Structure 1
Amino acid sequence: MTRAKNRLPKPDPDSGIEDVPLLILEWLGEQGISALIRFDAERPHNQWTFAASGGALSHPIRNDSASANTCLNNGLALMRAQGLNIPF
């Protein structure tokens, strides 16, 4: 019997995982904005958090929502309200 060598599985391009959230986070990083999206299993509601700060943002933003999609969309709306032109 052989032991696993803690290698990551190879990505499957046909897996159906959406690339857009990763592209958004990468674009934000290129603009000097630190950003994250997080899931907190210990919270019963609004388990998703999106936070961003730095770069062209005049003040940090944070949004908590029940779904990843809503959380990211609301976070982008908050950044647009600060004048950030997000190409997504």
Structure 2
Amino acid sequence: MPTTDPGFDRDGILHLLQWLAEQSVVASISAVGKSSLTDEPKWVFRAASGPSVPSDLRQNVETEESTAGQCVCMALPLLKEAGLSMSGGSWISGLEELDCTEGTGVLVLDWLVEQGVSVFLKADGERATPGWTLIVHGGALPDILRFDGRQADGCFRRMLLDLRGQGLAVPL
């Protein structure tokens, strides 16, 4: 395991998902692993107000694009239209509305999709304390791997350890 900080805590998209969970929204981003080099990945961003926790989100939001960053860029105005006040959120410093650059965490997920691995990441605002679920499966992985935690950073770090333990050389 490298001793350098992979920077998961500086990923703007992860900051946005965390902020949405803090607003009692269940937010996820996912993609199915590519089956061939010619396949174009399809990322899906979803945000929903859960039935057990009230939030300002008046309607569900879903976008589909070829990158996670594009999904989020398309979702931001829809989240505003659905009733969330997007100004002043803690995520803004890491993700500019017109940029939507993918940080380390999402880039690792994108690399996994390129290797044929399907990915699902959820920030759950319905939990008493917002929590995360990260699931990866398919491709060269013999089993479904699931990681749950209070912070995205911890889920990603455990995922990297498991993937490397299974011989998958994640470039990070």
Pick closer, same or farther for the CA change 1:41–1:31 going to 2, 3 Å. Answer: same
Q: Report the RMSD for the aligned CA atoms in angstroms.
A: 2.3
Select the residue among 69, 72, 84 that pairs with 2:153.
Answer: 69
Give the number of aligned pairs: 79
Tell whether 2:95 aligns with 1:11: no
- Displacement of 1:21 after TM fit? 1.1
**Quick one: higher RCO (CA 8 Å, sep 6+), 1 or 2?**
2
- After TM superposition, the score normalised by the length of structure 2 is 0.41
2:98 maps to a residue whose letter is K
Pick closer, same or farther for the CA change 1:12–1:77 going to 2, 3 Å. Answer: closer
Select the residue among 112, 119, 123 that pairs with 1:28.
Answer: 112
Select the residue among 38, 53, 60 that pairs with 2:137.
Answer: 53
Structure 1 runs of 4+ aligned residues shifted over 2 Å read 6-9
- After TM superposition, the score normalised by the length of structure 1 is 0.76
- Inter-partner Cα distance in structure 2 for 1:60 and 1:12: 29
- Inter-partner Cα distance in structure 1 for 2:139 and 2:107: 17
- Displacement of 1:46 after TM fit? 7.0
The 8 Å contact of residues 121 and 132 in structure 2, kept in 1 or not, is answered as yes
- Inter-partner Cα distance in structure 1 for 2:109 and 2:150: 20
Tell whether 2:160 aligns with 1:85: no
Please list every run of 5 or more consecutive structure 1 residues that lacks an aligned counterpart in the other structure: 1-5
Identity %: 35
Q: Secondary structure, in 3 states, of the residue corresponding to 1:44? A: coil
Deviations 1:24-67 (A, max 9, x none): 01100110000122101112257111110000101110000110
Please list every run of 5 or more consecutive structure 2 residues that lacks an aligned counterpart in the other structure: 1-74, 78-96
- Inter-partner Cα distance in structure 1 for 2:117 and 2:137: 6
The 8 Å contact of residues 123 and 130 in structure 2, kept in 1 or not, is answered as no
- Inter-partner Cα distance in structure 2 for 1:72 and 1:60: 15
